[in-house]
Chain A
Amino acid sequence: MNRLQTIAEFNVWQSALAGRWDETAPCLRVCDGTGCRALGSQKVLASLREEIQKAKLETPIEVIGTGCPGFCECGPLLTVYPQRISYQKIKLSDVPEIVQQTLVKGAIIERLLYTDPQTGQHIHLEPDLPFYRKQKRLVLDFNGRIDGTRIEDYAALGGYRALAKVLGSMTPEQIIAEVKISGLRGRGGAGFPTGLKWEICSKNTKKVGDGYIVCNADEGDPGAFMDRSVMEGNPHSVIEGMIIGAYAMGIHQGFVYIRSEYPLAVENLRIALRQAEAAGLLGRDIMGSGFDFNLAIRLGAGAFVCGEETALMASIEGRIGEPHPRPPFPAESGLWGKPTNINNVETWANVPYIINQGGQEYAKIGTEKSKGTKIFSVVGKINNTGLVEVPMGITLREVIFDVGGGIPGRKQFKAVQLGGPSGGCIPAEHLDVPIDYESLTGLGAIMGSGGMVVTDEDTCMVDFARYFMTFTQQESCGKCVPCRLGTKAMLTTLERICAGGGQPGDVEYLLELGDDVKNSSLCGLGQTAPNPVLSTIRYFRHEYEAHIIDKKCQAKVCKGLIHYSIIPEKCTGCLVCLRNCTSNAISGAKREVHVINPQICTRCGVCMNVCKFDAVVVN
């Protein structure tokens, strides 16, 4: 397409696209995000197109690969428009039936519908799914509706209108004021007020005459994938947010720092950048406003610490991804010594909405100090694994039980880990706490980037803390002593406890170490790394003590504290466990009671899984 020369030209182009956009037309929308792709959505997409051609329908039916709508548990997802019939867990073999039954005859295929576990009833339409009912989708709104790699789709739904609005009718000061009114706070974890950050950076940029903006897309928390899905499904919203921010701060160069573990997000972002440049929405003289802005992608090479802003900047500059102390803060001296404003993907993606609807309107959502919505990736022991966008102030109980559908297998909820390896766990007694930055911090957790790992009664909290400690210890850059050696000391102690070698005083030692690593480390990684340990000790100290003193792991997870045995009365001598044992630890002959040798047994649990007579028990 030709570059749009003026805002008037943009308006003509955009309203033409909006006029043509029709969600009442027959269309199939298939999730083409990473999660559904892993489950085969690309083959489903290709096959759908093929079958539709074969079927020679009277009206053409479009098939769109969309961004992730969030219900990853039930992928690959297919929504049949205009009715919005929601089909789930589509297999390649279901495709001919979908075309013949639903598209040709207009019949609904019951077995592909979602079944409400509470009522046992099939739910036909996407808006009626309980998973979506309590959500409020501002950032994820277009995910599931548009093809993220088509700028026309984004523009048809009002994309880049916020940019046209600011370039045509707002001063940089007005934009910053609007963002301040909205109450938007950084979605990367720390929750610094975005408007204030922009104001500080803009002042420094004016002084120096130059600066940079950065989008932090180095999402690395285990179990967090909201930024990935936004970039895959709606990359233009991030780009638009960044151009608006750049204009507000008087900056002409931006970077998206994205981890190379996200190939699809990188690809879609590249496509989106090319489209925006071709359309004249990026680059020189955007829409004839005289404002120039270039945006480049920088790939991270797999270091978690590069999500920390100072390490991120070092990495962009081509130096070792190590943090450096603040002050100076990036807003004063960031990339190549110039004022730099760094925001997270989700923060940038919120900006177009704020400009379009106004800060006032945005501030109506949420609590007094935490405004707007937040995307959480709900994973772990939960029925509806996926991405949920909820208004701030909603309770954890609503997110986990109403949206997330509760815990599978009638198990008891134990705790939820918020904020990934930097956050803490929140036990059942605090489930009714409203989600906002302050409440979560008060409970020893953090909002973080929005990873929510749910655990149930079968999760050992010591082992859980050990898992996160393994992660942070491996990801510590090693520059400062408390983080490099303190996390190692904590991990070694936890491993010893899990292996049955816990000693009295270990908990106190962990608390002392944790306190030191938190207070003395150089950057955010070390300063938050002990949180999973400290919060599990705070709420589940009895589990630590059971491991150390009684040498018992109640959840039967820690291999050093459990042993498998066979109940002679139940064993039929069928040889199944013996044949399946990976370490030849089981002895016995046909129709004779089998015996597990604890010296050889590796506690893998295969024997228990294969025994049909429940004869294998773990203690």
Chain B
Amino acid sequence: MIHLTIDDKPIEVAENRTLLEACREHGIHIPTLCYHPALEPYGGCRLCVVELSQPGRRSRLVASCVYPCEEGVVVKTNSETVIRSRRMTAELILAGSYHTPEMLALGEELGVKEVRFKLPEDNACVLCGLCVRACKEIVGVSAISVIQRGIAKKVATPFQVTSSRCIGCGTCVLICPTGAFKFESVTGFQYVSPLESAYRLGYYRLGGELDLRPHFVQDVAELLISMKEEE
């Protein structure tokens, strides 16, 4: 067992737990966006930051979803620094997706009063990478990835053309927190594509209705979560 202090309370957790898992086990709320229990943590959205103090080091912000619990560390999940960082991060996310209801709600939760900077075009995709990881880790096809860098970064198939690897299962649609994918049925095919894109990621031949789940497993995500818990 590992002993650490979270929000002035001594806490004991099993080994190989992240700070986020320890907090959630102890009922401490931490906002997240790019985290999903069934997927490898990513550390990209920075909403889950907490303030970490180690003996002999200056305290600093770390992403709790990827930071492992270490013996003797002191963690603050709601210090002024943490709150300020999360608020600014939420404001910055809104700078790129200022019309997305889920993100507006997030901004409100974290105390964003005004979005002082906005990109010329907003986009529902916040690049949390959940779809990319789900496609790789759950579906196992890696049909989509991120391309380019910085603010030009986006989720796409190689060369931005319909991918023969995509099986049109819709896992990306299912896992996307902001509804950044289109999911449509056209003449017996089920198509998946990013919003405002000129191409489709891929498709799958339908038997009947739209099937918003990986068709080969009832619900892979839930299955993986239960597997992880059994470990």
Contact = CB atoms under 8 A, between A and B. Distances in A.
10 closest pairs, A vs B, by CB?
Answer: A478-B153, A485-B92, A489-B117, A516-B88, A325-B43, A325-B66, A476-B150, A478-B150, A520-B85, A520-B46
B161 to A, nearest CB: 19
6 contacts: A476-B149, A481-B45, A482-B92, A485-B119, A493-B117, A509-B116
A519 interface: yes
Contact of A325 (B67, B84, B92, B96): B67
Contacts of B150: 473-478, 484, 487-488
Interface in B126-171: 126-127, 129, 145-146, 148-153
Given A479-B42, A522-B63, 14 more contacts: A305-B149, A320-B146, A324-B43, A325-B66, A475-B149, A478-B127, A478-B150, A478-B152, A479-B127, A480-B45, A481-B47, A488-B117, A489-B117, A509-B116
Contacts of A520: 46, 49, 61, 85, 88-89
A327 B151 CA distance: 26
Interface in A487-532: 487-489, 492-493, 509, 512-513, 516, 519-522
A303 interface: yes
Nearest to B148: A478
A519 B63 contact: no
Contacts of B45: 480-481
Contact of B89 (A324, A473, A479, A482): A482
Contacts of B127: 478-479, 484
A388 B67 CA distance: 41
Range, interface on chain B:
35 or more
Nearest to A489: B117
B95 A303 contact: no
A519 B60 contact: yes
Contact of B92 (A481, A509, A519): A481
B145 A485 contact: no
A522 B93 contact: no
Contacts of B116: 489, 509
B89 A488 contact: no
> For chain B, what secondary structure do more than half of its interface residues adopt (helix, strand, loop), or is it mixed?
mixed
A423 interface: no
B151 A522 contact: no
A303 B93 contact: no
A327 B68 contact: yes
Range, interface on chain A:
20 to 34
B85 A480 contact: no
Which of A493, A512, A519, A521: most chain B CB closer than 10 A?
A: A519
A516 B150 CA distance: 17
A485 B118 CA distance: 9
A85 to B, nearest CB: 50
B151 A486 contact: no
Contact of B149 (A303, A482, A489, A512): A303
A492 B120 CA distance: 11
A245 B44 CA distance: 34
A148 B88 CA distance: 51
A137 B130 CA distance: 51
A520 B43 CA distance: 11
Contacts of B146: 320, 478
Interface string B107-122: 0000000001101000
B46 A485 contact: no
Contacts, number: 99
Interface string A315-348: 0000010001101000000000000000000000
B214 to A, nearest CB: 24
Contacts of B152: 478
Interface in B29-53: 42-47, 49
A473 B151 CA distance: 8
Nearest to B153: A478
B78 interface: no
Nearest to B89: A481
A489 B81 contact: no
B89 A484 contact: no
A486 B49 CA distance: 16
B70 to A, nearest CB: 8
B107 to A, nearest CB: 13
Nearest to B68: A327
B88 A521 contact: no
Contact of A478 (B67, B84, B149): B149
A320 B117 contact: no
Nearest to B85: A520
Given A489-B92, A516-B84, A478 B117 contact: no
B5 to A, nearest CB: 19
Nearest to B60: A519
Contacts of A473: 150-151
Contacts of A474: 150
Nearest to B81: A519
A522 B129 CA distance: 15
A481 B44 contact: yes
A485 B93 contact: yes
Given A320-B145, A325-B63, A484 B153 contact: yes
A519 B83 CA distance: 12
Interface in B8-58: 42-47, 49
Contacts of A487: 150
Contact of A516 (B42, B89, B126, B153): B89
B93 to A, nearest CB: 6
Contact of B88 (A475, A484, A492, A513): A513
Given A474-B150, A476-B149, A481 B63 contact: no
